[in-house]
Amino acid sequence: MGTTVFERRIPQPSVIEHALGGTSHSTFWIDDLPEALKPSRPKLGGTVVADLVVVGGGYTGLWTALLAKERNPDAHIVLVEAKRVGWAASGRNGGFCEASLTHGDENGKARWPKEMDVLHRLGMENLDAIEASEAKFGMDFHFERTGQLAPAVEEHQVEWLRDWADEAASNGEAEDIVFLDEAAVQASVNSPTYLAGVWEKRTNGMLHPARLAAELARVVEERGVEIFEHSPVRRLETPGSTGAVSVVTDGGRVDAKHAVLATNVFPSLLKRNRLMTVPVYDYVLMTEPLSAEQLASIGWNDRQGIGDMANQFHYYRLSKDNRILFGGYDAIYNYGRKVRESYENRPESWQRLGSHFFTTFPQLEGLRFSHQWAGAIDTSTQFTAFFGTARDHRVAYAAGFTGLGVGSTRFAAETMLDLLERRENERTTLEMVRKRPLPFPPEPAAAIGINATRWSLDRADHNRGKRNVLLKTLDALGLGFDS
**Minimum gap (Å) between residue 235 Cβ and ligand FAD:** 9
Q: What's the length of the chain? A: 483
CA distances from 194 to 39, 152, 223, 361, 458 (A): 44, 6, 48, 10, 20
User: From start to end of 288-385, where are the E strands?
Assistant: 305-307, 314-318, 324-333, 369-380
- Determine if 83 is a binding residue for ligand FAD (CB under 6 A): yes
Dump strand ranges (E) for 288-323. Answer: 305-307, 314-318
Q: Is 56 in the site for ligand FAD (CB under 6 A)?
A: yes
Three-state SS at 229: coil
CB of 292 to ligand FAD, least distance (A): 26
**Residues 282-321, mask of contacts with ligand FAD (x by CB under 6 A):** x-x-------------------------------------
Binds ligand FAD by CB under 6 A, chosen from 6, 50, 94, 367: 94
- Alpha-carbon 132 to chain mean position: 20
Smaller CB separation from ligand FAD, 196 or 332: 332
- Closest approach, Cβ 224 to ligand FAD, in A, equals 21
Closest of 380, 394, 395, 379 to residue 436, by C-alpha: 380
CB 365 within 8 A of CB 15: yes
Question: Under a CB-based contact definition with an 8 Å cutoff, are residues 404 and 120 in contact?
Answer: no
Q: Which residue, 60 or 186, has its beta carbon nearer to ligand FAD?
A: 60
Q: How many CB atoms lie within 10 A of CB 343?
A: 17
Q: Contact with ligand FAD (CB under 6 A): which of 16, 52, 53, 92?
A: 92
- Residue 388 buriedness (CB in 10 A; 0-12 / 13-18 / 19+): buried
Selected range binding ligand FAD among 171-179, 288-296, 402-410, 432-440, rule: CB under 6 A: 402-410
* Binding piece for ligand FAD, criterion CB under 6 A, among 44-52, 148-156, 288-296, 369-377: 369-377
> Which residues have CB under 8 Å from 35's CB, separation 6+?
none
In order, the DSSP letters of 321-340 are: TS-EEEEEEEEEEPTT----
Q: Minimum distance from CB of 217 to ligand FAD (Å)?
A: 11
Please report, for residues 281, 282, 339, 384, 432, the alpha-carbon distance to residue 335 in angstroms, rounded to integers and kept in the order given: 12, 15, 11, 22, 29
**Residue numbers 205-264 binding ligand FAD by CB under 6 A:** 232-233, 262-264
Report CA dihedral (177, 115, 314, 94) to the nearest 10 degrees: 100
Cis, bond preceding 444 (omega within 30 deg of 0)? yes
Instruction: Identify which of residues 300 and 397 has a Cβ nearer to ligand FAD in the complex.
Output: 397
Min separation Cβ 480 and ligand FAD, Å? 23
C-beta closer to ligand FAD: residue 28 or 361: 28
* Residue from the set 199, 228, 401, 440 that interacts with ligand FAD by CB under 6 A: 401
Rounded distance between C-alpha atoms, residue 255 and residue 245, angstroms:
6
Say how many C-beta atoms besides its own lie within 10 A of residue 82's C-beta: 17
CA distance 116 to 366: 46
Closest distance of CB 97 from ligand FAD, Å: 6
Is 99 one of the binding residues for ligand FAD (CB under 6 A)? no
Among residues 15, 54, 77, 80, the one that binds ligand FAD under rule CB under 6 A: 80
* 369 interacts with ligand FAD by CB under 6 A: no
How many binding residues for ligand FAD (CB under 6 A)?
Answer: 42
420 is an interface residue for ligand FAD by CB under 6 A = no
Of 66-74, 85-93, 138-146, 163-171, the segment contacting ligand FAD by CB under 6 A is 85-93
Rg (CA), the chain: 22
Print the binding letters for residues 370-399 with ligand FAD: x by CB under 6 A, - otherwise.
-----xxxx---------------------
Dihedral of CA 422/483/124/326: which sign?
Answer: positive
Judged by CB under 6 A, the stretch of 118-126, 351-359, 403-411, 474-482 that binds ligand FAD is 403-411
- Pick one of 28, 29, 87, 357: the residue that binds ligand FAD (CB under 6 A): 87
β-pairing verdict for 369-380 and 386-390: unpaired
Q: Which of 199, 329 has the CB closer to ligand FAD?
A: 329
Q: Which is nearer to ligand FAD, 255 or 378 (CB)?
A: 378
Among 6, 19, 52, 98, binds ligand FAD (CB under 6 A): 98
Q: Kindly tell me which of 343 and 363 has the beta carbon lying closer to ligand FAD.
A: 343
Between 156 and 274, CB nearer to ligand FAD? 274
Nearer Cβ to ligand FAD (195/247): 247
- List the one residue out of 398, 378, 400 whose CA is nearest residue 390: 398
* Contact footprint for ligand FAD (CB under 6 A): 55-61, 80-83, 87-90, 92-96, 98, 232-233, 262-264, 266, 269, 282, 284, 327, 375-378, 401, 403-407, 409
